[in-house]
Structure 1
Amino acid sequence: MAEKKQNKEAQEQAPAVNIDALLPELSNKNSDYVFKLRKFVKEAGATDAQEQAILEEFLPKILKDQHEGKPAAQVYGAPSLLADHILKSSGKKQGDKQPFWIETIDLGFSFLAIFSLIYGVMSFFAKNSKQDASGGLVSLILMSFFAAVVFTYFNRWLDMDKKKRPNMFLIIIAGVASVLLVSLVSVWLTNNVDTIVTRQMPAIAQLIVAALSYGAHFYLKRRFHLRNMFQTAPRARK
């Protein structure tokens, strides 16, 4: 009993792993691996304390393997897989689902940034207004957030049990019909409603919208720990 007590006290008095001292000892490959590992666990919503605990556990192991000529990728696989394994084993699932509307708004700003950037660059090189295919702000918002709804729903559809998924053929038909409808409404607004939010925007305005939209996407992604645009939808909690 006394021996167990002494061992416990020795463990409590053992110095914590000095992460700042260990990081410079990593090779270039392992340094990049740890950087990506930290990125994945933070994007999955891990707290600073959880990230600290992960580094304290794995940095000594990675350095030990490094001294034996084994890079971390060889021992643990891709950093995304290790992050997923760590978080699942600790009871936290990577990229837990957020409400549909939050993911949709985030993706909407992502698409708005992409579309605005593309149209803004195209406007710079357009020789005349006839070659400028960009629409107004309302049209861009319609297309962007409609695409976000479709993309978010598709991610949720992939995550469903295969036996419970709605018929893919019907979804494709509904999707194509909706795309055509939104496109027609966007074109009609640009050509027939002459207001500051419906007429074609100059290139600089497009680029400003792109920058603001990306800023909104970046904030939402950090605030709600959202997954990346092309990251597989996570499994729902049982």
Structure 2
Amino acid sequence: MKANEENNQQTPPDEVQATSEPVKDEPAAESANNSTDSTDSTNSADSTAATDETDTIDIVKTDVSAETARRNQEASARQAKVRSERKRPQGKDPQEMTPAELRAELTNKNDDYVFKMHKLFVEAGYTEADADQKIDEFLPEIIAGQRTGKPAAQLYGAPTVKVDHIIHAPAKPIEIKYWMRSVDWSMLYFVILAAVFGVMGFFTKANAANNTSSGFLTLVTMSLSFGFLLTWFTDGMAESQAAKKAGRKPKRPLWRTILLSVVAVFVVMALISMISVILPGLNVVLPAIVYLLMAAAVYGLRYLFRRHYHIKGNTMF
């Protein structure tokens, strides 16, 4: 008993405390390590789950975008097809269809539009036949617009506006061609020269038969030559004046026009002299009264010619 007590007394208290402390710290360290490992594994799992979720969202967005693009492309293709079908001509060409076929193809709106036009034409003084004929001129255009989805009201406006425009449409300017003006001037020269030859015939009866300068062939040659030459000269003068007003260079200078006209007059006079010498039998001198009658007849013919081709002005009478 005493020995055991001595042994207990000899053992220092610090050593006993030191040997007991490690035993107490080992469970705490193990728990700390276990806590750290569990935290890392948890964070790793969370990170992996977040990455998978992000990838899934991106894939879904990509699929949605691709599906949207595909649907838009299909919608555009359908719209293009509809537009092409609307523009595509249906049936016969309206220009080759008869008025009856055109009227049979009218829609209800266009048929009502045509009915109102017909009524307005009749109220304006047109006969039933004239009103139908006037409307028939526009039916091909109405049908062509109808096939592309444009009714007549969209093409022309209200029926009253279209009918008023037709009735009071300004007259189109008529182009007076070069040959028309040349023939007009030639007939005028014929009238003047024939009247002069006729008057001269009353005062030169003795030498009239030998005066080939007043023969019929001379009359015709001078009238045609001077008629076409005067037309060419007046056109050149008008072009020079227009160029001067516009401040540009004329196509043919004025001096050249005058010079060529003088040369042309000498050529015509030489031609008349040759006719008198070479063809005296054809260049007969007619009686004075015949020249006067021809002058009157050609003047009446010229009046009808000018009226037919709507030639006005630019002549002496």
TM-score band by shorter chain is: 0.5 to 0.7
How many pairs are equivalent? Answer: 144
Given that 2:215 and 2:284 are in contact with CA atoms closer than 8 Å, whether structure 1 keeps it comes out as yes
RMSD between aligned alpha carbons?
A: 2.9
Q: 1:115 aligns with which of 184, 193, 205?
A: 193
Given that 1:143 and 1:182 are in contact with CA atoms closer than 8 Å, whether structure 2 keeps it comes out as yes
Q: 1:181 aligns with which of 267, 277, 281?
A: 267
Correspondence for 1:216? 301
For the residues of structure 1 that align with 2:251 and 2:315, how far apart are their CA atoms? 20
Q: Give the direction of change, closer, same or farther, for the CA distance of 1:187–1:202 in structure 2 (3 Å limit).
A: farther
For the residues of structure 2 that align with 1:135 and 1:180, how far apart are their CA atoms? 18
Q: 1:172 aligns with which of 258, 261, 265?
A: 258
**Identity percentage of aligned residues:** 23
Say yes or no: does 1:141 pair with 2:220.
yes
Q: CA deviation at 1:101?
A: 0.5
For the residues of structure 2 that align with 1:200 and 1:129, how far apart are their CA atoms? 10
SS at match of 2:267: helix
Instruction: Tell me which protein shows more helix as a share of its residues.
Output: 2
For the residues of structure 2 that align with 1:217 and 1:125, how far apart are their CA atoms? 28
For the residues of structure 1 that align with 2:250 and 2:197, how far apart are their CA atoms? 39
SS at match of 1:227: coil
Instruction: State how 1:36-75 maps to structure 2 within 5 Å.
Output: none
Given that 1:135 and 1:186 are in contact with CA atoms closer than 8 Å, whether structure 2 keeps it comes out as no
Q: Which amino acid aligns with 2:315?
A: F
Moved over 3 A (4+): 90-94, 130-134
Q: Which runs of no fewer than 5 residues in structure 2 stay unpaired? A: 1-119, 125-168, 244-248
Given that 1:190 and 1:199 are in contact with CA atoms closer than 8 Å, whether structure 2 keeps it comes out as no
Say yes or no: does 1:225 pair with 2:310.
yes
Q: Which amino acid aligns with 1:206?
A: Y
Given that 2:198 and 2:289 are in contact with CA atoms closer than 8 Å, whether structure 1 keeps it comes out as yes
Structure with larger Rg:
2
Q: 1:190 aligns with which of 273, 276, 279?
A: 276
Correspondence for 1:124? 202
Instruction: State how 1:191-206 maps to structure 2 within 5 Å.
Output: 191-195=277-281, 197-206=282-291
Q: Give the direction of change, closer, same or farther, for the CA distance of 1:191–1:114 in structure 2 (3 Å limit).
A: same
For the residues of structure 1 that align with 2:227 and 2:188, how far apart are their CA atoms? 8
For the residues of structure 2 that align with 1:100 and 1:211, how far apart are their CA atoms? 25
SS at match of 2:175: coil
Correspondence for 1:153? 232
For the residues of structure 2 that align with 1:203 and 1:229, how far apart are their CA atoms? 29
